[in-house]
Each structure stands twice: as structure tokens, then as C-alpha cells.
Structure 1
């Protein structure tokens, strides 16, 4: 597999091998899908959306769209070394169980295997549908990432060797974050504004980190939206969504707080 997203996840598995364990519930699904070491998505390879057919090509050099990407890149450069830059490196994390809590502050509840196993599985499996679904367009366009094109640093230097090897367009992280925000907004409509905003911020972290152009992120969000729409026709997803909604209601009734420093997150994200 040549996808940079897959390579980054494999690296994450190795990095966490001695410090993180999956619960029995999660481990039961790992290894049964097309991506070794990760839970299978809800969609079969035949059902997966075709990102290369769905998305328009990325901006070309000399176009007004590329000029807009360059302007957005320069604006993001002013954030290097700030708390927002540092938070962008946190948002690069896609390895479970750590990644499960990314949206816990926006949800106002803990998200982990202990309190919300169905919700955690929902996030793990939709990650594959949204994130790995971008690989065909990435391979087709092979767009150079901004840090490669400009010989600059990123907020995740340990990942740079792998990011150099694959295309920038569209952003897999942006697709995942946007899909997660939309799914969570369905589970907790009273928190929809905060959850969708967190999904937006998750994608912006890739631009701020200097690993994606703004148009990569926008295309990722478009693909993430399409994946969520497609998932609603999947009965297994619908069943797990209903179970996750019950978990959210139970956690809300019990008054369970997020297991994160939400004040620090809000400050870093400018909320």
C-alpha cells in the first residue's frame, strides 16, 4: 500500500506498541479488513466512493486557485511555534485509543472504550471509509505537499519522510475530521455547532501544520461529507449509530465530564 495515510498509521502502530493497548472489543475487529492492524470500514471495497472520479483536479501552477493556496499558506505560517501550531501536531494523531478523545471536549463527554464502546468503534471504522477513501485521488494527482514544494518544516517532523512519498490532494485527515464532526453532530444535535466546528478545526490543523494546501483540505471535507451520506445506506453503520446515541444519552445523564483539558484546547483553537 502506497498511501501516506496508511504508512502514517503503520508508523503509529509501531510507536504505540509498547505504550498503548486496545480493548478486547476493539481488538476483535482489527485485522479483518483490507488494512492490516486497523478495524475494517463499514463499506466494502466495491461500495467505497471513488475519490478520483468525484473530486475535481487540484489547482494548477499559475492559476488563481493556486495563488489563493499560496496566500493561505503564508497566513498559516504566522502561527508556527504558537499553541495553535502545537495543537495541529496533536490533531495529526489517528491511532486509537488516543484518537478517540479528539472530539470529547466538543461533545462535552468522554469518548473511550470504557464509557462508549460503540461510539469509539463508530469513529474507528468511519476513519477507514473517509480517510483511506482519499487514496485513489492522491495517487492520481500526486500533488506536492507545501512543505515539500517550499523545503520547509512541519509540525510533525517525524512524519515528514512518509508524507513526502504520497500526494497532498485531497487531505485524508480533513476527510476524517469532517466525517467525524458530522456523525457526532447527529448523535448530539444540541452540540452540533461545536462538533462541526471541531471537525473544521481538525482539517485546518493540516494546513497550519504545513502538510496540506487549503484546497486539499476543502476537497477532503467534500469527500468526508459524501462518505457520511453513503454510510447512512449501510445497515451496520445505522445500527451502531443508534447504539452510540444511547451511549451518549447515558453518559450525559450520568454527568460524565471529558477526560481532557478542554480549557487548553479552547485557548489553542481560539474558542
Structure 2
């Protein structure tokens, strides 16, 4: 995929092990008699790393988005003010959550929305949903690169000569455009998909999706305008995905998994720390 060669940050994520283990997951442990069949093998970007659904049919973020705020503009001044305010949260529980959210590697990132959804998300418990998240990460992430590669916007940690919340990514982020935010595009796409799969939890899921993107401010990895426009790209990717029949079939299977878990009484665990962190607001943003 030519776009993947340009996507330095996303390439690092994929090379680091976006998928671990076989793409056809082992039998789930919780309620095997109620779970849908395991996913069939899918195309791979690299061994063990599933491709997205869209291929070259990605939304064009360069066409979709306005230019980022220019240095010296009122918009950039707002970005700077929000950036400086967000850095006051380094000793807060929200910073710890932002650091966790920065790591897009599977399997850990799959559980991001477990507490908001109310049921565990994992390769073992929800194999079809897990694969759906893997594949849509690629689509929503790559959809940002037409604009990223055109504008090549400097990230705040580079601009201010500072650090981020996730040092492992800093080398790749230095040469990866800040606008729009790929993390935000992915997180917002996931929030939209999960709110569709489980409408009763939509408010909590969408709030978690918003926090996932805004945590990039706390991480010092993005400006606020990067985050806002990242949501637009994520929404655009989701709109295009709904025209893909394989995606729609996987959505139906993922919905069945969620319903089966919820019907069995299985709930997400260890959610208190996340709830505490989400109560910490970013000054000037929430």
C-alpha cells in the first residue's frame, strides 16, 4: 500500500505489532456456546497485521479540511494557549490515562472503550470486534495522511522543545505532520462505531472518544485544531466504511458479540481509575 510508506507514525505502530498472534482468534473463554463463529482470514499489510477495509477508497483529508491555523494568527494563539494550559496536568490522573491512550499497539489499545461500553473488549472475549478495531485503525489513521503530508505541521513538543507523555513515539512523531491528529481520527471513528453497536452506551462511549483525542493535548503531541479536525476525518472514514459490505458484516458480528456478553452478565473490570482520570478537565477545553 503506497500510502503506508508515507505514514511514518502509523508505520511504526504497525511494525511494532498492531496485531499479536493469528488473525483467526482462539476460541473465546467466557461464553463459547453463545459467541459467533471466529473471523475468516483477512488481507494483511504485513504478517500478523490485518489491512483496513477501504484500500484506496479513503476519504481525502486534504480536500475535507481547511488549512491549519498559521503562525501569528488568532487561531494559532488559541492553539498555543490551550497547549500551555494542558501541560499543567502532568501530575494529574488524566496524564496517566493520556499516556496509556498514546499507545496504539494491540492488544492493550483494544480495551480503551471497555469501561464506557460496559463489557470487556479483547481478542479472546470479542474476536470479531477486536478485528474490526484493528482494521478500522488502519483506515481512520491512513485517512489523515493526505493533509498531514501536505501541511507538515510542527507538533507542539517540537515547537516548544519539550517531551511528550510517550517517549517511545517521539522519534517518529518529529517527522510526522501534526495536522490532523491520527490518534483522534482513530479514537473518534471507534467511538462512532461502538455507539452504533451499543446505542444505550452512546453517551459514555462518545465522551470517552472525545477524551481519547483531547488526551493528545495533555501528551504535548497535538494542537487543539489538530484534534478538532481529526474528529472530522474519523467521521469521514466511518461514513465511507458503511458502504463496504465486509465491514457491515463484521459490524453485525461485533454487535452479536457485545449483546452476548451483556446478556451473560459479564461486565468490564477495573474502571475506577479511568473514571477518576476523566473527571480531570483540560483548562479552556471542557
- Fold shared by both chains (TM-score > 0.5): yes
Q: CA deviation at 1:2?
A: 3.3
Which structure's residues are more often helix, by fraction? Answer: 1
The equivalent residue for 1:65 is 75
The equivalent residue for 1:8 is 12
Q: Indicate whether 1:228 and 2:228 are aligned.
A: no
Q: Indicate whether 1:22 and 2:33 are aligned.
A: no
Q: Indicate whether 1:82 and 2:95 are aligned.
A: no
Secondary structure class of the residue paired with 1:25:
coil
- Runs ≥4 residues deviating over 6 A: none
Please tell me the root mean square deviation across aligned C-alpha atoms, in Å: 1.9
Structure 2: state its 5+ residue gaps: 26-38, 281-286
Q: Distance in 2 between matches of 1:202 and 1:211?
A: 13
Flag the 1:28–1:5 CA change in 2: closer, same or farther, 3 A: farther
The equivalent residue for 2:30 is none
Q: Residues 125-149 of structure 1: CA distance to partner in whole angstroms, max 9, x if unpaired?
A: 1111101111121110000000000
Q: CA deviation at 1:116?
A: 1.1
Residue 41 of structure 1, aligned match among 27, 52, 77: 52
TM-score with structure 1 setting the length: 0.91
Q: Distance in 2 between matches of 1:207 and 1:149?
A: 14
TM-score with structure 2 setting the length: 0.87
Flag the 1:123–1:24 CA change in 2: closer, same or farther, 3 A: closer
Q: Do the aligned partners of 2:185 and 2:231 also contact (CA within 8 Å) in 1?
A: yes
Q: CA deviation at 1:55?
A: 1.1
Residue 253 of structure 1, aligned match among 241, 247, 263: 263
For 1:75-224, list aligned pairs within 5 A: 75-224=85-234
Q: Do the aligned partners of 1:23 and 1:113 also contact (CA within 8 Å) in 2?
A: no
Q: CA deviation at 1:7?
A: 3.6
Q: CA deviation at 1:81?
A: 2.7
The equivalent residue for 2:35 is none
Q: CA deviation at 1:22?
A: 2.1
Q: Do the aligned partners of 1:142 and 1:168 also contact (CA within 8 Å) in 2?
A: yes
